[in-house]
């Protein structure tokens, strides 16, 4: 007769599980060991140690498994046994030895550290040893870990560098900085070394490293990979000397520098990004050269990427000359949006100058008018509304009219709704402009605009319909929900249909029944969006719809996400459909998701399903053990 180890786990019956370890049929002794490890505490640890200490009284293969469970409980009695096992193992038992080193890393202690440090001295230390040392973060292991780094060069060193970072020990800095600076370091290793340096305690920076850290980080700062250059810039920003190094790169990136001495454009972008992120460290108050350097980079001789980065940095630091330089660059179509955002971010935005630029109707001012409209919208400048309304007139360039429509929408300027509605409904106007007008109407949200938006949802132009779906999502009424449902079910454009599903979510309660109805006769190209939408809908109807998507033969491609959505609802009415999946689903790849969802519900019904599943299917997987652990711990 098979023992009821599930009941024993729920009841925390250590004595019963101990008996199963000795006499139970396979695989019950293994499961009993796992469950004792989950229970923890002195009694469970004693039972596991008895198996380790008296191996002849237990199945032949069980003591090693019990030893690992004891190590996970951090019981120091495991250490001498593990050490004896490690030293007595043969080379062909590599997998078991690796597990033992993992166990040493779990239990820790001086003896464990000494053994791991000893193994770091091997010609090619196993990766599992390096990871175990990093897990323990033992200071005495740092010299051996550094030595192992050089033994593993080249080809297998990245995980060792990551381990050095996990140690957070200043003694690792010289080696890491050497790797950062060396020409022979691969891009992947350099990135790992820079990230490891960022793990060092801030109060240990700058570390002693032969050459100054500023010099040794120079190559990383010039790296075209932002994942390497950005952390290097952040490290340099920690000290005054480091910030001077950043300023030097900024000046050396200016177009007038001789090519042999010029810093690469990528480093200029990196430094500008850091200035935007940490403006309190730069600008006129910190160094009189910062703003002029940025103004030089904003000039037309720089590439657009550098100019946009310089504009953003100027907007963050401000200062004398920043506003003038940005206003001068406002009309450049290549960087106009970045300049407009920077102007709006200035500590003292030049609102009057922007209003003047917006009112300038001369042909040469087209770019400046568009940029001024964007900046004034970001500044939420209501004073600009009359000028923006005038900019909608047909005699203005299309990009200026589009920017005016966007800004009126961003301002939520109610008096503009009528003018925008006329523009949106005019078939003679360009489709892009009409789409912008529809978008603005949705932002304004005037009730009288709804008929125009409903008509736009049937427009032959796809961009107009896309914007109409977004706009209708801001009208929580039945007419909007019905129109969106028709688009989601039948529009020829997949983008429109998906946008309609997302808009139904934003509508709230009026959209929920429509979403539920879409689960019947599912349109395949909106299935993922529909699952996400139903996951956020309250009520039993949404549960039923998700259950259909999780089980119906015609929705197989969304079975897993629909199951995950059901499991994530944390709703008692999801227990029955989740249990149905456990009972009928073959193969069992979704069972772990279902078990986690049932265990999280915390109801008697859900717990009963978990217990019944574990009794029927056993405890071969971590998912079933984890779910049973949640149920049992809740009943303590």
**Interatomic CA distance for residues 145 and 149, integer angstroms:** 6
Give the range among 285-294, 470-479, 485-494 with minimum mean pLDDT: 285-294
Q: What does the pLDDT read at residue 134?
A: 87
457 pLDDT above the threshold of 70: yes
Q: Is 463 in contact with 431 (CB distance < 8 Å)?
A: yes
What average pLDDT does this structure show over 106-134? 88
pLDDT tier for residue 210 given thresholds of 50, 70 and 90: low
Paired tokens of 477? 């009424």
**Interatomic CA distance for residues 369 and 375, integer angstroms:** 10
Per-residue pLDDT tens digits for 513-524: 999 999 988 888
Q: What does the pLDDT read at residue 285?
A: 79
**Interatomic CA distance for residues 329 and 367, integer angstroms:** 10
**Interatomic CA distance for residues 466 and 418, integer angstroms:** 21
90 pLDDT above the threshold of 60: no
636 pLDDT above the threshold of 90: no
Question: In Å, how far are 283, 348, 515, 540 from 320, measured between CA atoms?
Answer: 10, 10, 55, 62
In the chain, what percentage of residues exceed pLDDT 90? 72
Residue entry with tokens 């080193």: 101
Q: Is 412 in contact with 443 (CB distance < 8 Å)?
A: yes
DSSP state, residue 350 = -
In the chain, what percentage of residues exceed pLDDT 70? 98
Q: What are phi and psi of 361, to 5 degrees?
A: -90, 5
Per-residue pLDDT tens digits for 174-208: 999 999 999 988 999 999 999 999 999 999 998 87
Q: What does the pLDDT read at residue 86?
A: 80
SS3 54: coil
Q: What does the pLDDT read at residue 283?
A: 87
Picking from 570, 565, 634, 627, the residue whose alpha carbon sits closest to that of residue 596 is: 627
The set of residues, in sequence order, having a beta carbon less than 8 Å from that of 355 and lying 6+ positions away, is 372, 376, 381, 383, 384, 387
Picking from 316, 315, 298, 317, the residue whose alpha carbon sits closest to that of residue 307 is: 298
Per-residue pLDDT tens digits for 578-625: 999 988 867 678 899 999 999 999 999 999 999 999 998 888 889 999
**Interatomic CA distance for residues 422 and 480, integer angstroms:** 20
Q: What does the pLDDT read at residue 93?
A: 64
Paired tokens of 173? 């800095």
Residue entry with tokens 């009841």: 11
Largest interatomic CA distance in the chain: 97
154 pLDDT above the threshold of 80: no
Paired tokens of 540? 């039993």
More confident residue, 281 or 207: 281
Give the range among 63-72, 87-96, 115-124, 577-586 with minimum mean pLDDT: 87-96
Question: In Å, how far are 40, 173, 532, 583 from 201, measured between CA atoms?
Answer: 35, 11, 41, 52
- The chain-wide mean pLDDT, for the chain, equals 91
Residue 55 CA, chain-centre distance (Å), reads 47
Per-residue pLDDT tens digits for 233-272: 999 999 999 999 999 999 999 888 888 888 899 999 999 9
Q: What does the pLDDT read at residue 58?
A: 93
Give the range among 23-27, 68-72, 259-263, 613-617 with minimum mean pLDDT: 259-263
Q: What does the pLDDT read at residue 222?
A: 94
What average pLDDT does this structure show over 518-539? 90
Picking from 635, 595, 626, 631, the residue whose alpha carbon sits closest to that of residue 38 is: 626
Residue entry with tokens 């078991």: 96
What average pLDDT does this structure show over 285-304? 91
What average pLDDT does this structure show over 154-170? 86
What average pLDDT does this structure show over 221-230? 95
Q: pTM for the whole thing?
A: 0.83
**Interatomic CA distance for residues 324 and 158, integer angstroms:** 48
Q: What does the pLDDT read at residue 286?
A: 86
Q: Is 516 in contact with 534 (CB distance < 8 Å)?
A: yes
**Interatomic CA distance for residues 511 and 499, integer angstroms:** 13
**Interatomic CA distance for residues 249 and 224, integer angstroms:** 14
* Burial of residue 506, with CB atoms counted within 10 A of its CB: 0-12 exposed, 13-18 middle, 19 or more buried: middle
Rounded (10°) CA dihedral 362, 367, 373, 376: -110
**Interatomic CA distance for residues 290 and 319, integer angstroms:** 10
**Interatomic CA distance for residues 335 and 371, integer angstroms:** 10
Per-residue pLDDT tens digits for 319-369: 888 999 999 999 898 999 999 999 999 999 999 999 999 998 888 888 899
Picking from 167, 236, 157, the residue whose alpha carbon sits closest to that of residue 189 is: 157
**Interatomic CA distance for residues 525 and 495, integer angstroms:** 9
Per-residue pLDDT tens digits for 482-502: 999 999 999 999 999 999 999
């Amino acid at each position: 007769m098979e023992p009821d180890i599930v009941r024993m786990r729920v009841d925390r019956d250590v004595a019963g599980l101990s008996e199963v370890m000795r006499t139970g049929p396979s695989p019950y002794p293994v499961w009993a060991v796992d469950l004792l490890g989950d229970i923890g505490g002195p009694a469970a640890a004693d039972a596991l140690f008895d198996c380790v200490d008296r191996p002849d009284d237990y199945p032949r293969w069980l003591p090693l498994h019990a030893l690992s469970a004891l190590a996970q409980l951090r019981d120091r009695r495991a250490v001498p046994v593990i050490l004896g096992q490690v030293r007595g193992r043969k080379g062909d038992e590599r997998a078991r030895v690796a597990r033992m080193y993992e166990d040493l890393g779990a239990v820790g202690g001086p003896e464990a550290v000494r053994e791991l440090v000893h193994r770091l001295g091997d010609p090619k230390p196993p990766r599992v040893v390096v990871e175990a040392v990093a897990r323990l973060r033992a200071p005495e292991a740092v010299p051996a870990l550094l030595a192992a780094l050089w033994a593993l060069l080249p080809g297998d060193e990245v995980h060792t560098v990551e381990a050095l970072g996990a140690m957070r020990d200043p003694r690792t800095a010289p080696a890491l900085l050497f790797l950062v600076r060396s020409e022979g370091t691969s891009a992947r290793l350099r990135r790992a070394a820079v990230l490891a340096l960022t793990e060092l305690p801030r109060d240990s920076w700058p570390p002693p490293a032969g050459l100054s850290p500023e010099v040794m980080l120079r190559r990383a700062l010039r790296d075209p990979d932002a994942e390497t250059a950005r952390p290097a810039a952040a490290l340099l920003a920690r000290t005054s000397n480091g910030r001077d190094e950043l300023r030097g790169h900024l000046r050396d990136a200016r177009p007038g520098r001789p090519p042999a001495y010029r810093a690469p454009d990528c480093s200029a972008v990196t430094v500008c990004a850091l200035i935007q992120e940490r403006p309190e460290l730069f600008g006129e108050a910190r160094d009189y050269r910062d703003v002029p350097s940025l103004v030089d980079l904003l000039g037309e001789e720089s590439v657009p990427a550098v100019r946009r980065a310089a504009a953003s940095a100027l907007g963050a630091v401000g200062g004398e000359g920043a506003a003038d330089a940005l206003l001068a660059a406002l009309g450049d179509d290549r960087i106009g949006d970045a300049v407009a955002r920077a102007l709006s971010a200035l500590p003292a935005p030049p609102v009057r100058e922007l209003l003047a630029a917006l009112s300038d109707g001369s042909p040469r001012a087209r770019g400046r008018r568009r940029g001024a409209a964007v900046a004034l919208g970001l500044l939420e400048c209501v004073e600009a509304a009359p000028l923006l309304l005038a900019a909608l007139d047909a005699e203005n360039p299309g990009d200026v009219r589009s920017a005016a429509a966007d800004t009126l929408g961003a301002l939520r300027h109610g008096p503009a709704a009528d003018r925008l509605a006329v523009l949106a409904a005019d078939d003679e106007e360009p489709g892009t402009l009409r789409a912008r007008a529809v978008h603005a109407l949705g932002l304004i949200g005037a009730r009288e605009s709804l008929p125009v938006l409903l008509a736009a949802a049937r427009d032959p132009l796809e961009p107009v319909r896309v914007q109409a779906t977004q706009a209708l999502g801001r009208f929580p009424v039945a007419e909007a929900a019905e129109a969106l449902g028709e688009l989601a079910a039948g529009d020829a454009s997949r983008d429109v249909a998906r946008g309609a599903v997302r808009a139904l979510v934003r509508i709230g309660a009026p959209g929920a029944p429509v979403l539920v109805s879409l689960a019947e006769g599912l349109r395949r190209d909106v299935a993922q969006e529909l699952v996400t939408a139903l996951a956020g809908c309250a009520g039993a109807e949404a549960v039923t719809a998700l259950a259909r998507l999780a089980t119906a033969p015609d929705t197989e491609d969304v079975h897993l996400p629909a199951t995950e959505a059901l499991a994530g609802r944390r709703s008692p009415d999801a227990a029955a459909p989740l249990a149905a999946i456990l009972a009928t689903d073959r193969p069992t790849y979704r069972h772990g998701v279902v078990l986690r969802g049932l265990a999280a519900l915390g109801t008697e019904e859900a717990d009963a399903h978990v217990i019944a599943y574990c009794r029927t299917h056993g405890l071969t997987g971590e998912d079933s053990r984890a779910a049973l652990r949640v149920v049992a711990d809740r009943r303590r």
